[in-house]
A and B are shown apart, each in its own frame.
Chain A
Amino acid sequence: MASTASVIEHPTTDLWGGGVEPLKASYGKLMMWFFLLSDAFSFSALLVTYGMIRHAHAAWPEGATLFSQEYWPIPELVFTHFPFTHANLPLAFVGLMTFILIMSSVTMVLAVEAGHRMDKKDVEKWMLWTILGGLAFVGSQAWEWSIFISGSHDGLKLADGSVLRGANLINNEYGPPAFADLFFFITGFHGTHVFSGVILNIVIFFNVAYGTYERRGHYEMVEKVGLYWHFVDLVWVFVFTFFYLI
């Protein structure tokens, strides 16, 4: 009944008259989706490049315990540090970072859900948690970078007797130069995305607090920025697998 009535009320000529959303999503939301699609291509290119360059180098010899510029390092020997302890904890810190980011993704969905109910207080609360999660992640990454750059105490002894300590864009103690280059470039590109996301989230939080969306009658801006935030989490899922696990 209802559908028949709506067909009569809206003749087909209206389809080309504007104001119709064929995909049942607003312009802003669609453009966010297509932006994220293009961003996915950038990250894919970076990760495929990582796989290709790694494949071109000699693999880690079975049973080896020392780094060498002759072969690619394995992540569980590179990323072993955890704050406030000197214990050898392979990949534990990245695990924590992954957990923080997934958690902040959850609080973002909760903010979107609260927005659907027009619950201003709840949106504020969950946006704040999301911002906090984002800052915690960026902070963790800064710590990871500083450990990676300063390197181990002994460093890597080269054939000519000199010692290579830490990492920069030209060489590093963990393996071939390209290893550190790709680490800086891929996690840096992702970290920049997280940082931008935190700033966007702060802007949205203030708009929510000032009642901008309450007056507008909907919280769709939270959804749009939420899409971006989930994408950042999505990319980390892949970076985590290809950089830290394999």
Chain B
Amino acid sequence: MATVHVGHDENSREIPKAQTKKIWKTFWILAGITALEFLVAGVKHPLHLPQLFVIFTFLIMTIAKAALIVAEFMHLAHEVKTLIWSIVIPFTFIIWLVIALLVEGSTILSSHF
């Protein structure tokens, strides 16, 4: 806080240094998970991995990536708690949608396909 004087000319104003360490850390984790997904996609047939195991693995990695993007890139983790919950809680409806369609899906579709 040595220079209190702030000029109207934008060139005279001192710009703080960029803080990008956390951003790049998030990027490397995202890139790492994506690379892992490719690895699993590549070996799932040669190694005869069970389909349920593959789907479950992909699902966990996808949700991890999504959570990272929302928390860090979209900054939701650093918002007020009420805001976090008002975004996260409605997502339970999507879980309901998935379960409902999994349970009733084959009955609905067996008459169409």
Name A's B-contacting residues (CB within 8 A): 22-25, 30, 33, 37, 40-41, 44-45, 48, 51-53, 55-57, 76, 91, 95, 98-99, 102, 105-106, 108-110, 113-114, 117-120, 122, 176, 178, 214, 223, 226-227, 230-231, 233-234, 237-238, 241, 245-246
Contacts and interface: CB of A to CB of B under 8 A. Distances in A.
A95 B18 contact: no
Contact of A237 (B69, B90, B110): B69
Contact of B66 (A52, A99, A237): A237
Contact of B74 (A52, A120, A227, A246): A227
A144 to B, nearest CB: 17
Interface residues of B, number: 53
A231 B19 contact: no
Contact of B58 (A48, A53, A234, A245): A245
A24 B79 contact: yes
A113 B19 contact: yes
Interface of B: 10, 13, 15-16, 18-20, 23-24, 27, 30-31, 34, 37-38, 40-41, 45, 54-55, 58-59, 61-62, 65-66, 69-70, 72-75, 79-80, 82-83, 86-87, 90-91, 93-94, 97-98, 101-102, 105-106, 108-110, 112-113
A233 B15 CA distance: 30
Given A55-B105, A56-B106, A237-B62, A23 B23 contact: no
A44 B15 contact: no
Which 10 residue pairs are nearest across A and B when measured between Cβ atoms? A56-B109, A52-B105, A241-B62, A23-B83, A44-B94, A230-B73, A119-B15, A56-B113, A230-B74, A24-B80
Contacts of B75: 223
A227 B72 CA distance: 11
Given A41-B94, A102-B27, A110-B23, A245 B37 contact: yes
Contacts of A245: 37, 40-41, 58
Contacts of B79: 23-25
14 contacts: A24-B79, A37-B87, A45-B97, A48-B98, A52-B108, A56-B105, A95-B38, A117-B15, A117-B18, A226-B74, A230-B69, A233-B69, A241-B37, A246-B54
